[in-house]
Structure 1
Amino acid sequence: MILTVLLLALIVVAALALVLAPLRQATPPDPDAPERNRLLAERDRLYGELAALHEDDAKRPDLERRAALTLRGLDALPPAVQGNPQRTGQLALLGVGAMALLTVAGALTFVPRWQLASLNAGEAENVQAVLKLPDLRRTAERTGENADYVAWGKAAFDSGQYDQAVTAYGNALKKNPRQPEALRRLGILLLTRGDQTGQQVSDSDAERATLLIRTAAQLAPREAESQLLLGFALARYGEDKAALTALESYRTLDPKGRDADELITAIRARQNDSDPALRVYAASCASCHGAAGGGGIGPSLRASSLTREALKLVTVNGRGAMPAYPDLTEAELNGLLDLMQKWQKERQ
């Protein structure tokens, strides 16, 4: 913030110095001004006398000769130094106004973008969402329109301003109770409010929150966020099997999404405590190759035709997008290879 203020101050000082420079400079004196003024007065006097003479007046040749000499004298003088202090002042004031407008525009556009340039894409997006919140909130409260409440809720949720998101989405649902985004996001915020405040959520509030998330998943089952939040809600209450189904649906709908990886691994580890090989597989392989080796982001291990030795090399050294696992113990590696060969035989 201090750097921003200093930068703006430097811009203002430099701009003022350049723009107001004409006001500090007086018009330089004209050394030929007395002679110029004398000749101009002489020219005007001679023109006046010539205009008053008759065409055949005997004085005319002498007056014309003297007028010609006067004009020649004026032509011989260097050009007069031009200056218009009033005009210069007006231009300077216009320049000050333009500079002020540019400074304000820079403060509102260039400086924020310059600051955002040091952030990654996600952080920059969150900052921009926070900056938009006051306007979005005022708009929603002024119009009372559903779309405006949703826009406010989305910006608040995406930027981590969860109290505002609860208010915005709650008002949106009063307008239209069948909005999947508002339902699932309000539900997860209510369900996890205890994590934010340190206060335990009551069973009745937790049930209502989970119902909101379930309803959203029913209304929009093909939206990845519906399945993701449903999986989190189900896992919170120990419904691991249903949670894993929802989270795997999320991974199918959004193959690049990584938000469920840790929870999927934790659920599979809980499910496979009795089988060391399945536990290793759940922790290291299932997020890509599927819960039972049927494939996902990575290929199906059940459909694989690799030999045991080839499977071992790929597992230990990695290949392509697959990471290497050189730190597996001999027992863990052999158990994992036994499991993969078992799945290959089951396919046959």
Structure 2
Amino acid sequence: MTAVSLLLLLLVVAVTLWLVLEPLRSGQPSDPDAEPRARLEQDRDALYAELAALPDTDEAQRRRPDLERRAALTLRALDALPPRPRPAPRTRTLALGALAAAFVLTAVGAVTFVPRWQLASLQPAEAANLQATLRLPGLKAQAEQTGAAADYLAWGKAAFDSSRYDQALTAYGNALKLDPRQPEALRRLGILLLTRGEQTGQTLSPEDAQRAALLIRTGAQLAPDEPESQLLLGFALARFGQDEQALAALERYRTLDPSGRDADDLITAIRARQNDSDPALRVYAASCASCHGPSGGGGLGPSLRDSTLTRAAARQVIVQGQGAMPAYPDLNGSELNALLDLLESWQDTGGR
């Protein structure tokens, strides 16, 4: 990004210089008769000077007719040459136009390339937040002018992404008044309500908690294949202590967005809570999670949830190892069976 922006700015500078200098460079056309013209003009000037300097004596005055004849011949030769090319009459206009174009190009570069350099120095999330913040005033004005649900959603998204949650509440609330079946507005209003206590320091009432959960669930039901629906649903379920359902939603989120990392910490925290009471998860966390991910979704090693190994084949790989995977022959029977039960349950649910 930075290299591209630098190249574009250098191109602007080069074009600007060319526009300014080209009229000046081409303002004096070349003269094909420049050399003989210069020689004749030099002879003419020399003859005029000699005539002007002739003393008032008989001998000197006898030379005057010859000098005048030579001067006349020189003038005639000069007149016989084609006229000297004149500078293009539009040179001044071109120069002024070039300066105006250079100003415009410089202004465009200042408002496009320089901000891009600044954005390129930020993390992707920071750059997105900054861009969303810059768009807020225009989006707000447009939504208030048109009153359209789509414009309120655009304003709400920019406000939410830039952490202007007060504006997000207003924008999404207005969007839902116009169309109550807006998944993004529902789930984001729900999560804002659920986390309002953390933002304001106030205790969340049971009624508000239930209302927030309902909004998030409804948003997830309307758009189950949108990654954010499953992410926020998993977060809400975890807040209510429903760890198994939360993990299912979070794993669904990771399936829908394999590059998404927003659920990693929460999944790890839930697994840590479960490890205290679940021997299979305790064995998995100790022996497998570092390569296959905290919940079997893959990491350095492949996803165990997408595995098609039979129980017998999985047992053999665990005990004897395979490829880059080390062997674990020291697992006792109950630990091995518990781990195989866990892997089979993950295979049954797949990415869900």
- Mark yes or no: TM-score above 0.5: yes
Could you tell me how far 1:21 is from its partner in structure 2? 10
Could you tell me how far 1:143 is from its partner in structure 2? 1.0
Equivalent residue for 2:313? Answer: 305
- Within the alignment, does 1:111 sit opposite 2:114 as a pair? yes
**C-alpha separation in 2, matches of 1:148 and 1:255:** 30
**C-alpha separation in 2, matches of 1:343 and 1:302:** 13
- Within the alignment, does 1:82 sit opposite 2:86 as a pair? yes
Could you tell me how far 1:177 is from its partner in structure 2? 1.1
Contact 1:288 1:298 in 2 (8 A): no
Could you tell me how far 1:296 is from its partner in structure 2? 5.6
Amino acid at match of 1:80: R
Relative contact order (alpha carbons < 8 A, sep ≥ 6): 1 or 2 greater?
2
Q: Please list every run of 5 or more consecutive structure 1 residues that lacks an aligned counterpart in the other structure.
A: 36-68
Counterpart pick for 2:145 among 138, 142, 145: 142
**Cα gap change, 1:287 to 1:298, in 2 (>3 Å):** farther
- Within the alignment, does 1:271 sit opposite 2:295 as a pair? no
Question: For 1:222, what is the secondary structure of its paired residue?
Answer: coil
Matches within 5 A, 1:207-286: 207-281=210-284, 284=289
Contact 1:277 1:335 in 2 (8 A): no
Amino acid at match of 1:220: A
Could you tell me how far 1:95 is from its partner in structure 2? 1.4
TM-score (norm 2): 0.64
Matches within 5 A, 1:159-178: 159-178=162-181
Q: Please list every run of 5 or more consecutive structure 2 residues that lacks an aligned counterpart in the other structure.
A: 29-36, 45-72, 348-352
Could you tell me how far 1:188 is from its partner in structure 2? 0.6
Equivalent residue for 2:99? Answer: 96
Equivalent residue for 2:338? Answer: 339
Amino acid at match of 1:135: G
Could you tell me how far 1:19 is from its partner in structure 2? 3.0
Counterpart pick for 1:186 among 183, 186, 189: 189
**C-alpha separation in 2, matches of 1:333 and 1:77:** 111
**Cα gap change, 1:183 to 1:273, in 2 (>3 Å):** same
Could you tell me how far 1:173 is from its partner in structure 2? 0.8
Aligned length, in residue pairs:
291
Could you tell me how far 1:282 is from its partner in structure 2? 5.1
1:71-107: CA deviation from partner (whole Å, max 9, x where unpaired): 95444457436347x7443222211211111011112
**C-alpha separation in 1, matches of 2:131 and 2:160:** 13
TM-score (norm 1): 0.65
Contact 2:155 2:171 in 1 (8 A): yes
Question: For 1:139, what is the secondary structure of its paired residue?
Answer: helix
**C-alpha separation in 1, matches of 2:174 and 2:344:** 56
1:229-249: CA deviation from partner (whole Å, max 9, x where unpaired): 111112112222332333333
- Within the alignment, does 1:19 sit opposite 2:27 as a pair? no
- Within the alignment, does 1:157 sit opposite 2:165 as a pair? no
Contact 1:289 1:299 in 2 (8 A): no
Question: For 1:109, what is the secondary structure of its paired residue?
Answer: helix
**C-alpha separation in 1, matches of 2:166 and 2:241:** 27
**Cα gap change, 1:340 to 1:274, in 2 (>3 Å):** closer
Could you tell me how far 1:147 is from its partner in structure 2? 0.6
Counterpart pick for 2:135 among 132, 137, 161: 132
Amino acid at match of 1:153: G
**Cα gap change, 1:226 to 1:21, in 2 (>3 Å):** closer
Amino acid at match of 2:242: E
Equivalent residue for 1:288? Answer: 296
Q: Which stretch of structure 1 is more off in the superposition, 279-288 or 102-111?
A: 279-288
**C-alpha separation in 2, matches of 1:157 and 1:182:** 10
**C-alpha separation in 2, matches of 1:139 and 1:343:** 53
Equivalent residue for 1:40? Answer: none
Amino acid at match of 1:106: G
Equivalent residue for 1:55? Answer: none
Question: For 2:181, what is the secondary structure of its paired residue?
Answer: coil
Equivalent residue for 1:66? Answer: none
Could you tell me how far 1:140 is from its partner in structure 2? 1.3
1:120-164: CA deviation from partner (whole Å, max 9, x where unpaired): 554444443333333222221221111111112223323433333
1:235-264: CA deviation from partner (whole Å, max 9, x where unpaired): 112222332333333344444443223222
**Cα gap change, 1:306 to 1:216, in 2 (>3 Å):** closer
